[in-house]
Chains A and B, each alone.
Chain A
Amino acid sequence: MTVWQADPTMTTESWVDRLPRAATEPFRRRTWAHVLYALVGLPIGVAGFTLTVTTISVSAGLIVTFVGLPLMALTGLIERGFGDGLRRFANRLIDADVPPAQRFRANPGLLGWIGSCLKDGTAWRARLYLLLKLPVGIAQFVATTVFLSYGLGGLTYAIWRPFLPCQTGHDGGTCHRGASITDRYFLDTPLRIGLVFVTGLLLVMTFPWVIRAFNAVDRGLVRSLLGPTGDANRVEELERTRAAAVDDSAATLRRIERDLHDGAQARLVALAMNVGLAKEKLAEGGDPAEASRLLDTAHTTAKQAIVELRDLARGIHPPVLDAGLDAALATLAAHSSIPVSVHSGITDRPDPAIETMAYFCAAELITNAVKHSGGTRIGLDVRSASGRLRLQVTDDGNGGARMGAGSGLRGLAERIATVDGTVRIDSPDGGPTAITVELPLRAGRTA
């Protein structure tokens, strides 16, 4: 069952939605969020500008004393926090959708802490934003108030014009009631009153887009100055994929240990036990047929242990990979219970680590196709082009493969993300399925 999450901005707008968008824009809640954001822009701009200019100039002035640098460090943190608050505010009201900047990391010790604060790019970018926010905030505020007051004033002109005082124009004599441009042009004829109404209407109708345009400038600043930098994004991604790689290798070692413990090790113990029993039987002059039966069991167990050890070793590193990825993939395809047709176009041999990764991706994807697709044919296509290795596994099965949480595909994607590899799944319900894995040819350097 799917539970639809209601969008809070939609709930009161059922009747609004039926009208043309241009006509309804001024009445939408989102528009008023933008208006609020633009109006608050001025006080925020003033406050941020004052704070930044004051703290920087005071600390710079005190830099010859012991107080200057610590003060600049401390105020950097304050301004960093201020900037982060504004980022959340922008996310909330104008859908800026900017992720947080990288967390502050202090070096140990008081001096280390001060140094980290002073070198903290996020704090300096927040200061730059606070300085730029003043002119932007003024523009936002002025545009909003002008458009709103002239627009609403024009719309209601016909109502409040009769209450204006009588004015005498340059022609003398006649009494004009209405706004005027110099003393020659009075807005008091029905046609002109109508024109004022139309102008007011135009202003009110266009102001949502004008406000949004100003806010868009602000949003650009928020994104580039208060969000994470490209480097920070990359660092965050590397930290995440590194953690995944460490978890994955620990899990692999655990799995190998478990396989050994339950498989080959246990079989060897049973083997030793049976051989020991047979030995004692023979030494005691017991029944040779009984001893022979025990040795038979031991022999079978020994062969099973050999098979298990071979499978396990191949699971760690398939020796055929040393002959090249295409040879390994051909062997892999030959072992599949559903026919696999292999097409290989590797012109540039990848790093061994990439070959291993590609091999296990192919093995996992073929196993998935055999187990879940319900298809009768599998295609495996691997080629190298412009520094990337592209591996595609297709099947003619039922489709519906998804990258669900905890699914094999998710695990595969996490493993290859450690070398900036990507997975693309094209598997409509009813099939066919094509899953494409792309890896760089060289581990360690990104293309």
Chain B
Amino acid sequence: MRVVIAEDNAILRDGLAGLLVDRGHDVPAAVADGDALRDAVAFHLPDVCVVDIRMPPSYTDEGLRAAIALRRTHPEVGVLVFSQYVETRYAAELLAGSVKGVGYLLKDRVADVREFVDALVRVAGGGTALDPEVVAQLLGASRQTDRLAALTPREREVLERMAEGLSNAGIAAALVISDRAVEKHIANVFTKLDLPQSETDNRRVLAVLRYLQS
């Protein structure tokens, strides 16, 4: 997997690059601002890029702007936005188009190296990776409270993992249950929420997110 990193903090930039190289991935460029990110992506055409939201010159949301622009100009390149804060507004802007090859994670998640790299691989392969914090905020802000209340605690956990972008196997591993049990819970969730059954993971994530945002 080829990864371009955009992060203005040198400690984190070097740490991330070291971590990915250690795992056998290729980091052709690690840059410190949005303009350099655009150039690096255009030049290296990586599988995925990791983008810090706050970068110079204004330290507000230029990383997010750059990420949204990249999704327009290079839809085949996955974008994982990486931030110390979770802002639902940022997530909404990022997910406004499609959820294909997009991720939004808290920087803390890098502590669980395997999960972090799995999420990055998922985004590189066109999947989705949303931080549990983002999903929790979406659930909290959702107006579908009645229907959500009808879910069992286990079904709710499965729904959250679906929204994060995990596959059936990923959900099974995360919750330490069998694939069969996951399928059963998912079927129940879709029935209770009256969602159309979708075959692919992407369509499923999109359906779940749109439902939570509606």
Contact = CB atoms under 8 A, between A and B. Distances in A.
Interface of A: 258, 261-262, 265-267, 269-270, 272-277, 280, 301
Contacts of A262: 9
Contact of B111 (A261, A266, A276, A301): A276
Nearest to A265: B84
Contacts of B19: 273, 277
Contacts of A258: 59
Interface string B6-22: 00010110011001001
Q: Interface size bucket, B side?
A: 10 to 19
A273 B20 CA distance: 11
Interface string B95-125: 0000000000001101111100000000000
A266 B11 contact: yes
Interface of B: 9, 11-12, 15-16, 19, 22, 54, 59, 84, 107-108, 110-114
B149 to A, nearest CB: 35
Contacts of B84: 261, 265-266, 269
11 contacts: A262-B9, A266-B84, A269-B15, A270-B15, A272-B111, A273-B111, A274-B15, A275-B111, A276-B111, A276-B113, A277-B22
Contact of A269 (B12, B22, B112): B12
Contacts of A301: 11
A83 to B, nearest CB: 48
A262 B108 CA distance: 14
A266 B22 contact: no
A214 B76 CA distance: 86
Contacts of A273: 15-16, 19, 110-111, 113
B108 A269 contact: yes
Nearest to A273: B110
A267 B9 CA distance: 10
Contacts of A274: 15
A266 B113 contact: no
Contacts of A270: 11-12, 15
B11 A276 contact: no
B110 A276 contact: yes
B110 A266 contact: no
A277 B22 CA distance: 9
Contacts of B59: 258
Contacts of B111: 269, 272-273, 275-276
Which one of B11, B12, B16 has the highest number of Cβ atoms from chain A below 10 Å of its Cβ? B11
Contacts of A267: 11
A302 to B, nearest CB: 12
A280 B111 CA distance: 11
A266 B11 CA distance: 7
A266 B9 contact: yes
A384 to B, nearest CB: 42
B89 to A, nearest CB: 18
A258 B85 CA distance: 13
Nearest to A260: B84
Given A266-B12, A277-B19, A272 B114 contact: no
A261 B110 contact: no
Contacts of B108: 269, 272
A365 to B, nearest CB: 29
Nearest to A266: B9
Contacts of B107: 266, 269
